[in-house]
Structure 1
Amino acid sequence: MNRSEINVFCPATIANISCGFDVLGVALDSVGDGMVVRKRAEKGITIVKLEGQKLPMETALNVAGVAGLALLEKSDYEGGFDIEINKKIKAGSGIGSSAASASGAVWAMNELLERPFTKLELVEFAMEGERLASGVAHADNVAPAIFGSFTLVRSYAPLDIVPIPSPSELYATVIHPQIEVKTSDSRKILKTNITLKEGIKQWGNLGGLVAGLFTQDYALIGRSLEDHIVEPIRSILIPGFDQVKSGAMHAGALGCGISGSGPSIFAFSKGQDTANKVAASMKKVYRNIGIEYDVHVSKINSQGVREMRT
């Protein structure tokens, strides 16, 4: 069916997931942007409408535009696209705002062109949007946004994405304190060398987490949600992090850590009731500190970007 317009949901994502820095991510089901993409005869891409946030509408300065141009460059399509974006994920929130825009744009364009590109190729296009946003073409947000569920970036050269299923009762709780931590800034404070001992601990946890997800072993998932390398450094930038993590674990979370580069903090729980209790404990910390916040409780999104039927 040759269509000229599509309306899509572009999911928020959690990247790194404690032990999986730059290689592990997961898509959320209840948080995301809206996007409408239309085919047109004229070559190129135009952001014709952008609601929700003040972000650049110039194609070359917008992650959706840059990702879309990367797709067009490899496409036989002689026309172009107009894009409308309803930004509900705040930039700098740590839950994949730029990834949602980049992934949604290329997924929608691919659908309108009757799917000439694979999901792996769509990830490569979307990574160009991430390069614009953070200076690094990382895939740990865009991969789950496009593939759905959890994804492991096994390799960047060549790009190799491994889809990972999510246990049926796994829920995510994410709290976003109303401060901004730019990915580009948070990367600058990271150390570039680690000890062999640190590496071994991290690799063990990453392997344990992946195994726990495949086998639906919630206890193993919880034991593996540890980060000995990045979290101790980045958590300094997030007010109340230690209190939020302690409260979440006391409320029954399997594990808790920094979402992406922060400032959002995520926790995984078995079951929605526990996830809601974790949300309440997180809210209490920021109410006491006096920082405004947003909280999301979400099932894991198994599909990724999807069409919204009207």
Structure 2
Amino acid sequence: MGDDCCKSVKVFAPATVANVVCGFDVLGFAVYAPGDEVIMRLTDEAGVKIKAIHGDEGKLPLDPAKNTVSAAVIDYLQAIGEPERGVEITLFKKMPVGSGLGSSAASTVAGLFAINTLLEERLPREALLPFAMAGEQLACGQGHADNVAPALMGGFVLIRSYDPLDVIRLHTPPGLVCALIHPHLEVATRDARRIIRQQVSLKDAVQQWGNIAGLVSGLYREDHALISRSLQDVIIEPVRSMLIPDFYTLKQKALDQGALGFGISGSGPAVFALSTDQDTACSIRDAVQEHLRTLGIESDGYVSQVNAEGPRIM
């Protein structure tokens, strides 16, 4: 790439589905579309700067200390002992803030992958995760890994523990396809967390543990029927579904089209369904979007295989 001042890279990082119905705060997976893009350039002028942000409608801060992408890069540079490195960032937002698609996670992961690439992979990919989690803390007040871990590592990811951090990349069955629908509504992550019950019954907890274990087993066994039976949530969905108009009608529409399961992506308002082929996923997407239109709600729809790759250089 020549001298540092000429080094640049363009990186894509994917949207993610967090929770995966039964796995609140501990499960997530990546998709191929949508996603965010970052162009990063090393410069001779010390410090991390944001040159421009496109597609955010002016919602995101240009202050490098307050933007998740630049803040994570600043932390990374300090950790490797090069805090005076000059970095210029251009961010292309391809999905809305507060969508339930892991928008902030995608941006942060793209930035970290870009700087690590420019500096010749100074750190292994998994070592970038704590910096990405700090970016999530800045973005939404909670440093959870269920979006950033799959965005960074690709595929299905389980966060077994946060203290100490223990993240496991799970097996991704080939051919598993996700239909992802983002209604044009906004649900703030902070608000969606506030309404969750802080205590649950032992009966509900046991049922939820069984579903999480069943889902992980189903992924490894490539057992679609077991995956389908396990995509049930008795703790979070009954509360958060109130934030999404006609949620249970949307769910039934998806199941009628052959979905293995249907749920809220992250904290919403995006919803998703898993299926075993592209045609079924397209039918699910179309049926859900059509019902949303009858409610006067426009939406964006995507169909994607589960993304086992994670971020990539474009």
Matched residue type, 1:244: L
Q: What TM-score does the superposition give when structure 2 sets the normalisation length?
A: 0.95
Q: Pick from 279, 286, 299 the counterpart of residue 293 of structure 1.
A: 299
Q: Pick from 104, 108, 125 the counterpart of residue 98 of structure 1.
A: 104
Q: Secondary structure of the residue that 1:26 maps to in structure 2?
A: strand
Instruction: Give the corresponding residue for 2:55.
Output: 52
Q: Percent identity?
A: 47
Instruction: Give the corresponding residue for 1:191.
Output: 197
1:20 CA drift (Å): 0.7
Matched residue type, 1:67: A
List alignment gaps of at least 5 residues for structure 1.
none
Q: Secondary structure of the residue that 1:59 maps to in structure 2?
A: coil
For residues 254 and 263 of structure 1, the distance between their equivalents in structure 2, rounded to whole angstroms, comes to 20
1:84-117 CA-to-partner distances (Å, cap 9, x unmatched) read 1110011011000000011111111111111122
Are positions 1:11 and 2:14 aligned together?
A: yes
For residues 206 and 281 of structure 2, the distance between their equivalents in structure 1, rounded to whole angstroms, comes to 31
1:275 CA drift (Å): 0.4
Are positions 1:279 and 2:285 aligned together?
A: yes
1:297 CA drift (Å): 0.7
Matched residue type, 1:14: V
Given that 1:174 and 1:264 are in contact with CA atoms closer than 8 Å, whether structure 2 keeps it comes out as yes
Greater alpha carbon shift after TM alignment, 76-85 vs 9-18: 76-85
* Moved >4 Å (runs of 4+): none
- Structure 2 matches for 1:1-310, cutoff 5 A? 4-53=7-56, 54=58, 55-77=60-82, 78-308=84-314
For residues 48 and 158 of structure 2, the distance between their equivalents in structure 1, rounded to whole angstroms, comes to 31
1:126-164 CA-to-partner distances (Å, cap 9, x unmatched) read 111110111010000000001001100111111111001
Given that 2:96 and 2:103 are in contact with CA atoms closer than 8 Å, whether structure 1 keeps it comes out as yes
1:40 CA drift (Å): 2.0
Matched residue type, 1:6: V
Greater alpha carbon shift after TM alignment, 192-201 vs 138-147: 192-201
1:11-53 CA-to-partner distances (Å, cap 9, x unmatched) read 1000000111111111111211111111123332111111011
Q: What TM-score does the superposition give when structure 1 sets the normalisation length?
A: 0.97
Given that 2:289 and 2:298 are in contact with CA atoms closer than 8 Å, whether structure 1 keeps it comes out as no
Given that 1:19 and 1:206 are in contact with CA atoms closer than 8 Å, whether structure 2 keeps it comes out as yes
For residues 172 and 178 of structure 2, the distance between their equivalents in structure 1, rounded to whole angstroms, comes to 11
Greater alpha carbon shift after TM alignment, 119-128 vs 250-259: 119-128
For residues 22 and 66 of structure 1, the distance between their equivalents in structure 2, rounded to whole angstroms, comes to 23
For residues 152 and 84 of structure 1, the distance between their equivalents in structure 2, rounded to whole angstroms, comes to 31
Given that 1:30 and 1:299 are in contact with CA atoms closer than 8 Å, whether structure 2 keeps it comes out as no
